[in-house]
Amino acid sequence: MSLTIENLKVTLQKKEILHGINLDAKEGEFISLLGASGCGKTTLLKSIAGLLDVQDGNIRIRKESVLGVAPEKRGTIIVFQDLRLFPHMTVEKNITFPMELKRVPKEEQRANVKKLLEAVQLSGFEKRKMREMSGGQMQRVALARALAANPKVLLLDEPFSGLDEKLREEMGRLVKELHELWKITTILVTHDIREALQMSDRIAVMSEGNVLQYDTPKNIMEHPANQTVADYFGKMNYVEGVVKDGKFVSGLFEAEVDLPDGEYKAGITWFKKGRK
């Protein structure tokens, strides 16, 4: 469902952390919050979920303000980096937990678990104890549990950052696949520029409690709003692509260029011929 954040100000221990954030996500959009450590990404996510008090501004889900609505009644679910699963319980129990709270009938719970485990590619793992699962498998269970709550807005707070690069990419692909299928409005917090570019419809680049730019990956790459955004994206090593007829095309962004045809590597402000 759609999400609108209007002039949001949040103060923690007498220090203003968010200075008037404006952001909107259309129904089914995939948004990333990108920015240096401490810029307020988690604070924004927790505010949306109702885990922090808001001093000024508004948060609307499907046009209705959710300020004052208890976290469990907002229709938001956060998956944190530490996952917060119950290690002594089975996979099934972990996933049915939100359904128990909603008093979903047992039969329906079992059918849902089956469907969710299929979705996260863990069919047959119902009776396994959480502590017998690998890191990547736990991430999948956490995702299944989040989806079990049937959220209006799914909030992902760097859920893959503890994984090695290969697993991280795998999880990224899975989340994107699930998003394509279920179209749940999703906000992902990440430090990883490449992940944000690959996964998002739009990216909010944050710095020190403000949003510096909120736009599609393509527009941000082609027209960074200011030097801070350009420098931030400049840290990304490169993307690979092809120049044909004056146009550079890659999986991440496209740009008009005055270069001969061929394969190129590109940073935000440079192009280098060849793939080496």
CA distance 126 to 46: 30
- Distance of closest approach, residue 182 Cβ to ligand ATP, in angstroms: 26
Closest to ligand ATP by CB, 138 or 155: 155
Closest to ligand ATP by CB, 35 or 217: 35
40 binds ligand ATP (CB under 6 A): yes
Helix axes 165-182, 135-148, angle to 10 degrees: 20
Closest to ligand ATP by CB, 50 or 241: 50
Closest to ligand ATP by CB, 18 or 85: 18
39 binds ligand ATP (CB under 6 A): yes
Stated as kind and residue range, the H or E segment containing 177 is helix 165-182
> How does DSSP classify residue 83?
-
- Distance of closest approach, residue 224 Cβ to ligand ATP, in angstroms: 19
159 binds ligand ATP (CB under 6 A): no
Total binding residues for ligand ATP by CB under 6 A? 12
179 binds ligand ATP (CB under 6 A): no
42 binds ligand ATP (CB under 6 A): yes
Angle, CA of 191, 122 and 137, to the nearest 5°: 40
Identify whether the C-beta of residue 23 lies closer than 8 Å to the C-beta of residue 200: no
12 binds ligand ATP (CB under 6 A): yes
Closest to ligand ATP by CB, 42 or 96: 42
212 binds ligand ATP (CB under 6 A): no
Window contacting ligand ATP (CB under 6 A); options: 10-18, 161-169, 232-240, 261-269? 10-18
Closest to ligand ATP by CB, 42 or 185: 42
- Distance of closest approach, residue 52 Cβ to ligand ATP, in angstroms: 8
- Distance of closest approach, residue 75 Cβ to ligand ATP, in angstroms: 22
Whole-angstrom Cα Rg for the chain: 20
Of 169, 127, 124, 122, which Cα lies nearest the Cα of 142?
122
Closest to ligand ATP by CB, 7 or 161: 161
Instruction: Tell me whether strands 262-266 and 271-273 are parallel, antiparallel or unpaired.
Output: antiparallel
Record the tokens describing residue 114, joined without a space.
């089956």
Report the residue from 26, 27, 38, 64 that binds ligand ATP according to the rule CB under 6 A.
38
Report the residue from 8, 17, 54, 116 that binds ligand ATP according to the rule CB under 6 A.
17
Q: Buried (b) or exposed (e) across 92-107, using 16+ Cβ within 10 A?
A: bbbbbebbeeeebeee
Report the residue from 32, 43, 47, 112 that binds ligand ATP according to the rule CB under 6 A.
43
Q: Where are the alpha helices (DSSP H) in 5-62?
A: 41-49
- Distance of closest approach, residue 188 Cβ to ligand ATP, in angstroms: 12
- DSSP result, 93-149: HHHHHHHHHTT--HHHHHHHHHHHHHHTT-TT-TT-BGGGS-HHHHHHHHHHHHHHT
Q: Applying CB under 6 A, which residues contact ligand ATP?
A: 12-13, 17, 35, 37-43, 191
